[in-house]
Amino acid sequence: MVAEVSGEVVEGVFAISKPSGISSGQALLHLQATFSTSTLFAPLLASTRQKRAAQASLLPPGQKNKADDEEANGRFFRMGHGGTLDPLASGILIVGIGRGTKALQNFLGCTKTYETVVLFGKSTDTYDVDGQVVAEQDCSHVREALVQEKLAGFRGTFRQVPPVYSALKIDGVKACEYVRAGKELPRELEDREVCVDECEVLEWWDEGKHGFKWPGDGVAATAPAVRIRLTVSSGFYVRSLAYDLGTACGSLATMAELVRTRQADFTMGDRAGEQTLEAVTYADLDAGESVWGPKVEQQLRTWMQQNPPPAEQTHVNGRDPDTKKRLGEEEKARIRQRFRGDWAGVSRKERRRQQKAAKESTNGQKDTTS
C-alpha cells in the first residue's frame, strides 16, 4: 500500500558543484540516494510513489511495469540535469527534480562561464588529458604574448568543429561510440556557429612551473600552460578551443583542467553575489541534511515562487485520476476477443500492429507458394 502524501511537496531547480572524476549521471544517482532518506523530500517521494502506483494500476494484465525497476536502480524521483559535464570537468551542474525537470531545457541555451587549463606540446584523441597522446610537437616558442595574440581570434562569433569524442549523434549514434568501436564516422561532424563573449588569460606557467601531467606520466609536463576564463554560448566545446589554440600557436595543445564556474544565475560559492545563487557542494551533501537542506530548499522555493503549479493539477495525462482508474478497471473486465489464434490487442496501436504482421505473414506465404 502506498503511503498518503503528508506535508508540502518541494521541487524545482537547483545547482550542485560536481567534483572531477565522476560523470553527470553518477552525480544524479548520488543525489537520488541522498534525497531518498531526507525529511525535505519525503512528501515528494510519497507523491512520486503514489503516481507510479496509479499508473501501474492502469496497465493491461501481463504488461511489465517499467516503473518497478526505477527505485531498484536508484531512481526515486524524476530528476535530470541542464547540461552535461564530462568526468574530467567540475563545477556547476544544474539539476531539476519533480516539476523542475520540465524546465531544464531552458538552461541548455544559456551562456556559461568556464576556467580551463591548456597544456601545450601534445594532442590526444579526446582533446583532453583523459585521452591517449596521438601527436607531439615542439612548443619552446609558445609564450604568453603569443597566446594572448592568438586568443583574439577566438573572441566573438565564429565556427567551431566539435571533437569526435562527443555526444553529438550521426544517424542516431553518438560520435564517440563510433570511435570507441573502432569504426569510422559515416560523415564528418559539421562545424557550428558559436560565440565567445569573454576570453581572458588568468595565469601563465612556463615549463616546470606547474603540476599538470600528460596521460600516463607520473611527473609534471615540461611544457608551458595557461589558465583561461571563457564565457561562451551553447554548443561551445572548450576541448576544441584547446586543440585549435595549440594549432594557432604553431604547436599542439590539450585541455588539462575544466571548471564550469557559472551557468545562468548559478555560480560557485566563492564567486556568488547578490544576483546569483550559490551551488551546493559535495562537502555540504556529506555533512548531512542539516547543512545541505536549507541551501537546496532556498533554491527550490525561489524556483517555485517563479514557477507556480497550474491552477488545476488533478489530472494525469489530461484525464482525472479517478476517471482514468475507472476506465482501466472497465478495460480489464471487458471480454477480450481473439485474433487469429491469439488475443486481440487492447489498444488500437496494438491491433494495427497485429493486422500488419498478419498481412506480412500472408504475403510471405503467397510468395513461397508462387
Which residues is 216 bridged to in the sheet? none
Active-site pick, 68, 86, 270, 322? 86
Whether 130 sits among the annotated catalytic residues: the reply is no
Name 68's Cβ contacts closer than 8 Å, sequence gap at least 6: 56
Nearest to 260 by CA among 105, 102, 110: 110
What is the distance between the alpha carbons of residues 79 and 101, in angstroms, rounded to a whole number? 6
In tens digits, the chain (370 residues) has pLDDT values of 455 556 899 999 999 999 999 999 999 999 999 999 999 999 999 999 998 888 888 888 878 777 778 888 999 999 999 988 989 999 999 999 999 999 998 888 889 999 999 999 999 999 999 999 999 999 999 999 999 999 999 999 999 888 877 777 877 878 777 777 778 888 888 888 999 999 999 999 999 999 999 998 889 999 999 999 999 998 899 999 999 999 999 999 999 999 999 999 999 876 555 567 899 999 999 999 999 999 999 999 999 999 988 765 444 455 566 666 666 666 665 545 544 445 556 666 777 777 777 666 656 554 554 4
Structural domains present in the chain: 12-108+270-306 (no CATH), 112-263 (3.30.2350.10)
Beta strand 338-339 pairing with 342-343: antiparallel
pTM above 0.75, yes or no: yes
